[in-house]
């Protein structure tokens, strides 16, 4: 301690008052001060053959001869600054070491089995604080888990005010996340002399990507779309890397005329990176595509329902909501068959395995149940073709959108008949009104 600051550490006991002569970690700025000291002591060797986190020093070398030389240099620095190490807490000349909750070896980086054993025996949290503790520990190892952000989404939504309610969905997410953490792979260490490969795929609601080298994944990323996700800049900046995407037009992004404000913003964000863009079909772009289109993202969440309405909650779209959307729910309550299913589910949620009830909304296989009556099929097709999220897409694309969000019994026959319309579309130029007219006759 600086002699002028010793009196600031005074504390009282039953035997009198005492002061610290050395810096205790209990002080507010003590951890950052100690980390700063360690960085200054080993500054010449950091990221060359040494890493330091508070009092944990990691020395790594390509050979035993180099390791002995590196250890000698580190000990000389510590001795020069009057710092000591405890022999019982040190490991020398090992091929595998536990460091900050990770196990580092020649094969790569893996999670610490002791930490995973703790997660394995973790009981279901009963409070928000308990859930936050679990997600904090699990999130520390998120880069090892494919789909982590999507699997944990249901649990993170429970952290919101008034959202802590355990359901079958959150229970399943809790167990799935535990299982995923117990089967994490060993991720190879990045080699900055080799080329990195980024494979990504994005949908309207999520993004999935894999950072790899020579076909071996180094890190995973899977999240619902949010602004400014920059995770891999340290890996990519200063090195050439490839970008594989299933969006063909992006392949020619650098060769086309930049004319729109959006393109100008995208280009500015990519300035400084050395990269090339390659097209990869969706069928071969399997891993990132699966990360971005995980089916859990299409589930209906109460906070989205209350804000945007049931139809847009299921599609993950935040857009203007038409007045008839909530009428789907009211129609189900009036229908005799659907009303009976709803009453059974209210009494016993497991009475109808294919159906579920969320905020009084009847779901079939996790998607909104649509009746055959009241021309709801026409309204759905109109919305997915002419609406705010439609963009006047063709029959095939409209069919896929409907099938993704409305796979209930009432839509099965619709999709089958839409396939028959493909032949008609190939023969004539079909206007949206013509499509709806044909659809009304189904």
Task: State residue 331's pLDDT score.
Answer: 76
Domain that holds residue 395: 372-428
Distances (CA, A) of 67 to 56, 95, 115, 166, 191: 17, 11, 29, 52, 19
408 and 331 together in one domain: no
pLDDT of residue 74: 94
What does the alpha-carbon distance between residue 329 and residue 318 come to, in Å, rounded to a whole number? 19
* pLDDT at 59 exceeding the cut of 90: yes
Has residue 410 been placed in a domain? yes
* Residue 191 within any structural domain of the chain: no
How many domains is the chain partitioned into structurally?
A: 5
Q: Which of 183, 204, 227 is the last residue of a domain?
A: 183
Q: What is the mean pLDDT of the chain?
A: 75
Residue 356 shares a structural domain with residue 388: no
The verdict on 143 and 80 lying in the same domain is no
- Enter the tokens of residue 414: 């619709």
Do 160 and 236 fall within a single domain?
A: no
Q: What is the pLDDT of residue 422?
A: 47
Q: Are 402 and 419 in contact (CB under 8 A)?
A: no
Same-domain status, 120 and 70: no
User: Domain holding 151: CATH number?
Assistant: 3.30.70
User: In terms of domains, do 19 and 81 share one?
Assistant: yes
Whole-number pLDDT of residue 242: 86
Same domain for 55 and 66? yes
Summarize pLDDT for 311-367 with one digit per residue, the tens: 444 444 444 444 555 677 777 777 778 888 888 888 887 788 878 877 667 777 777
Q: In terms of DSSP H, where are the helices of 159-295? A: 168-181, 233-236, 261-270, 286-292
| Domain shared by 278 and 361, yes or no | no
Cα distance between residue 370 and residue 389, in whole Å: 19
219 and 169 part of one domain? no
For the chain, percent of residues with pLDDT exceeding 70: 68
Q: Is residue 7 part of a domain?
A: yes
10 domain residue, yes or no: yes
Alpha-carbon distance of 326 to 322, in angstroms, equals 8
Last residue of a domain, one of 246, 273, 291: 291
**Is 435 contained in some domain?**
no
Q: Clarify whether residues 84 and 131 are in a common domain.
A: no
Give the pLDDT confidence of 197-256 residue by residue, as tens digits: 888 766 545 677 888 888 888 888 777 655 455 467 677 777 888 888 777 777 776 677
């Amino acid at each position: 301690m600086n002699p002028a600051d010793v009196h600031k550490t005074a504390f009282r006991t039953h035997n009198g008052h005492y002061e610290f002569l050395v810096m205790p970690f209990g002080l507010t700025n003590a951890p950052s001060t100690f980390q700063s000291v360690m960085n200054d002591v080993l500054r010449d060797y950091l990221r060359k053959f040494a890493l330091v986190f508070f009092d944990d020093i990691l020395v790594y070398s390509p050979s035993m001869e180099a390791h002995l030389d590196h250890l000698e240099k580190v000990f000389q620095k510590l001795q020069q600054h009057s710092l000591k190490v405890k022999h019982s807490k040190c490991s020398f000349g090992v091929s595998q070491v536990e460091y900050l909750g990770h196990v580092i070896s020649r094969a790569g980086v893996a999670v610490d089995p002791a930490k995973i054993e703790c997660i394995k025996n973790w009981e279901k949290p009963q409070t928000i604080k308990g859930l936050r503790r679990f997600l904090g520990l699990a999130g520390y190892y998120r880069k090892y888990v494919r789909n982590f952000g999507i699997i944990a989404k249901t649990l993170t939504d429970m952290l919101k005010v008034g959202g802590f309610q355990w359901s079958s969905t959150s229970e399943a997410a809790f167990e799935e996340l535990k299982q995923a953490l117990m089967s994490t792979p060993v991720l190879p260490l990045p080699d900055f002399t080799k080329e990195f490969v980024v494979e990504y795929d994005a949908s309207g609601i999520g993004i999935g990507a894999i950072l790899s080298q020579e076909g071996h994944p180094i890190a995973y990323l899977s999240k619902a779309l949010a602004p400014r996700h920059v995770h891999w800049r340290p890996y990519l900046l200063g090195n050439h890397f490839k970008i594989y995407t299933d969006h063909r037009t992006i392949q020619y992004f650098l060769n086309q005329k930049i004319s729109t404000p959006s393109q100008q913003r995208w280009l500015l964000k990519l300035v400084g990176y050395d990269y090339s863009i390659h097209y990869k079909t969706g069928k071969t772009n399997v891993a990132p595509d699966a990360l971005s289109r995980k089916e859990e993202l299409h589930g209906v969440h109460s906070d989205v329902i209350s804000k945007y309405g049931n139809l847009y909650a299921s599609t993950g779209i935040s857009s203007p909501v038409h007045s008839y959307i909530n009428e789907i729910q009211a129609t189900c309550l009036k229908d005799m068959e659907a009303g009976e299913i709803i009453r059974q589910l209210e009494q016993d949620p497991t009475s109808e395995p294919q159906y579920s009830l969320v905020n009084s909304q009847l779901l079939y296989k996790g998607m909104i149940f649509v009746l055959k009556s009241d021309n709801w099929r026409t309204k759905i097709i109109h919305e997915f073709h002419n609406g705010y999220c439609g963009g006047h897409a063709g029959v095939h694309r409209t069919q896929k959108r409907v099938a993704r969000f409305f796979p209930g019994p009432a839509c099965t026959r619709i999709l089958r008949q839409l396939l028959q319309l493909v032949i008609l579309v190939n023969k004539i130029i079909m206007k949206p009104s013509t499509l709806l007219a044909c659809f009304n006759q189904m």
